[in-house]
Amino acid sequence: MSKTKNSLVIAVSSRALFNLDESHRIYEEFGVEAYAKHQQENEEVILEPGVGFSLVKKFLSLNSNKTPIDVILLSRNSADTGLRIFNSIEYYGLNITRAAFTRGESTHPFVGSFEADLFLSSNHNDVQKALDMGYAAASIVNSSTQNSHETQLRIAFDGDAVIFSDDSERVFQEKGLIEFEKSEKENANKTMKAGPFQAFLKSLHKIQANFPEKDNPIRTALVTARSAPTHKRVIHTMREWGIRIDESFFLGGLDKGKFLKEFGADIFFDDQRQNCESASKFVPTGHVPSGVKNQ
């Protein structure tokens, strides 16, 4: 079934939605049969929320005829072992009705089949393949921290190699900070190329636009290592794209975690694994294996 023109579709793996660490440990140590037995014996045992649970719950709470939002479950489980997952979905009252169970096969081909705007998974390979196909995708970083806003959906993004392409990041990596700042100053009025999350941010902005700017149920933030004067090109690019970012943090290399905690992000997306590990101590985090730092 094709999504409607203005709908937002989120594809999420079972391990991103729920805490399946114990089940995964059994799979890793004892194999598929032991895993299947464990899941079947615990079908009525409700799973604890995972890293992406708060994000999914808030997205679903915004679903309406005016702002259609669909969450799809993409799972490497079989339909049989996935019964526990759907029992947990039902227990939490999550309106997730569509799913693909691949019985161990990669789930990434179905990101396109469901026309997903965002794919969240704990499987790095599935995420990488989805990114290579041109979809916004992130690998969930293990975290037991939950500092998200009580009601408002809050999503934070890194800039280069996430919202924007990695062209500027390549200059920094290859030529250093001075040449990077020089290049960005010279190109301050030149719009940057889109990164893997630009389309998702645009779709998110369309949902936001259905509500008043004040007390909007969605709030976004840009949290970047950039500082003045390289922030000018970012502002110019967002204006050209017609996208509003509610809060912007140009941190000049400061640790992002404390700022993300104060922002109350339901999830933060960053391309650098080191930044993700640090941020995950404060908020749910997704690693975007995109750009020069992941080559």
Say which of 70, 117, 126, 158 is annotated catalytic: 158
Chain-centroid distance of CA 234 in Å reads 21
Separation CA 158–CA 60 (nearest Å) = 24
Q: List pLDDT tens digits, range 236-253.
A: 999 999 998 999 999 988
Is 56 within 8 Å of 17 (Cβ atoms)? Answer: yes
Is 220 within 8 Å of 204 (Cβ atoms)? Answer: yes
Mean pLDDT of the region 119-127: 94
Instruction: Please report the pLDDT score of residue 6 as a whole number.
Output: 62
Give the three-state DSSP class for 258. Answer: helix
**Mean pLDDT in the chain?**
91
Instruction: Please report the pLDDT score of residue 31 as a whole number.
Output: 83
Instruction: Please report the pLDDT score of residue 291 as a whole number.
Output: 86
The reply to whether 153-290 shares the fold of 8-139 is: yes
pLDDT at 135 over 60: yes
Q: List pLDDT tens digits, range 268-277.
A: 999 999 999 9
Picking from 137, 149, 53, 64, the residue whose alpha carbon sits closest to that of residue 94 is 53
What is the topology classification, in CATH, of domain 153-290?
Rossmann fold (3.40.50)
Amino acid in the structure at residue 50? G
Give, in order, the Cα–Cα distances in Å from 189 to each of 55, 165, 166, 183. Answer: 34, 16, 17, 11
Dihedral sign of CA atoms 234, 240, 241, 246 in order: positive
Confidence of residue 76 (pLDDT cuts 50, 70, 90): confident
Separation CA 62–CA 67 (nearest Å) = 7
| CB proximity list for 265: less than 8 A, separation 6 or greater | 147, 148, 154, 155, 156, 221, 283, 284
Known active-site residue 158? yes
Give, in order, the Cα–Cα distances in Å from 131 to each of 90, 108, 112. Answer: 30, 9, 11
Q: What pTM did the predictor assign?
A: 0.91
Backbone region of residue 40 per phi and psi (left: phi > 0; alpha: psi in -120 to 50; beta: other values) = alpha
Is 105 within 8 Å of 44 (Cβ atoms)? Answer: no
| Superfamily for the 8-139 domain | HAD superfamily/HAD-like (3.40.50.1000)
Separation CA 133–CA 118 (nearest Å) = 12
pLDDT at 279 over 90: yes
Residue reference for tokens 């114990």: 22
CA-based radius of gyration for the chain? 19
| CB proximity list for 181: less than 8 A, separation 6 or greater | 229, 230
Q: Where are the domains of the chain?
A: 8-139, 153-290
Separation CA 256–CA 158 (nearest Å) = 10
pLDDT at 4 over 80: no
Tokens representing 36? Answer: 């299947």
Confidence of residue 94 (pLDDT cuts 50, 70, 90): very high
